[in-house]
Structure 1
């Protein structure tokens, strides 16, 4: 039996006043952290900057990027056993946050919204709460 590699994603954790930025794609009900899959040859930082600019119309300031953590869980909407590995970064940005590309809306989430996010995002929510970074 072969094991499938985890889906590799990069995510941006952006917290303001105890709330974390979430995004929802067009036609979906689940919220997730902005970001996405890397393109061939891209570093984590390059993926983060490109994805956030595509999805939210802002530019991450590269010298402010800080690693937050890597989390793994069952991939949303995929067969059992297909995992997603989300490497998360924090960082400042320039520009005005607004939905773009496939993103229908951006929202500010608290821990009460935990059931509205993907499985891997729920693990990250737990981590953010343990560190008192988001409100209950």
Structure 2
């Protein structure tokens, strides 16, 4: 499949799982979909640096590179930009024990357990790839 470079969104996003096995999801303003926290990678930025910047801006949490573990690259349909393809660099990030405060364009945050009722509207990447990945990994949060 040929991807039009103008229609590709490159992001860095986090899988954050708390002690109860719940995954942190965020909903940006003006969208109904919940997704992994993170955001667009600037052209000169390393994915992990983009992730750290976005988590600071959007959730007011500070994460260091040592707190992250690269999971892989995933491609899916962009939730909020029709006709766009999302290329996501996914990292496991230690869930902070401190309070998480939605900031910037984040309207709402939720801790979602993979076994919860899936009536929560999930972004394609979250629902089709991240959730099965977590469920297949069992409850191992290491």
TM-score by length of 1: 0.85
Matching residue of 1:131: 137
Matching residue of 1:72: 75
Q: 1:117 aligns with which of 112, 119, 122?
A: 122
Cα drift, residue 94 of structure 1: 7.6
Cα drift, residue 114 of structure 1: 7.1
Cα drift, residue 95 of structure 1: 4.9
Q: 1:21 aligns with which of 16, 19, 24?
A: 24
> Any conservation in 2 of the 1:66–1:90 contact (CA below 8 Å)?
yes
TM-score by length of 2: 0.82
Query: Which consecutive residues of structure 2, in runs of 5 or more, have no partner in the other structure?
Result: none
Query: Which consecutive residues of structure 1, in runs of 5 or more, have no partner in the other structure?
Result: none
Runs of 4+ off more than 6 Å: none
- Take 2:32 and 2:47, find their aligned partners in 1: how far apart are those partners? 27
> Any conservation in 1 of the 2:58–2:102 contact (CA below 8 Å)?
yes
Deviations 1:68-109 (A, max 9, x none): 2221112224444x3111111122358531100111111001
> Any conservation in 1 of the 2:28–2:105 contact (CA below 8 Å)?
yes
Structure 1 counterpart SS, 2:34: coil
> Any conservation in 2 of the 1:60–1:94 contact (CA below 8 Å)?
no
> Any conservation in 2 of the 1:7–1:85 contact (CA below 8 Å)?
yes
Cα drift, residue 115 of structure 1: 5.4
- Take 1:18 and 1:90, find their aligned partners in 2: how far apart are those partners? 13
- Take 2:131 and 2:22, find their aligned partners in 1: how far apart are those partners? 11
Q: 2:87 aligns with which of 85, 88, 113?
A: 85
- The CA RMSD measured in Å over matched residues stands at 2.1
Number of residues of Structure 1 aligned to a counterpart in Structure 2: 132
Matching residue of 1:30: 33
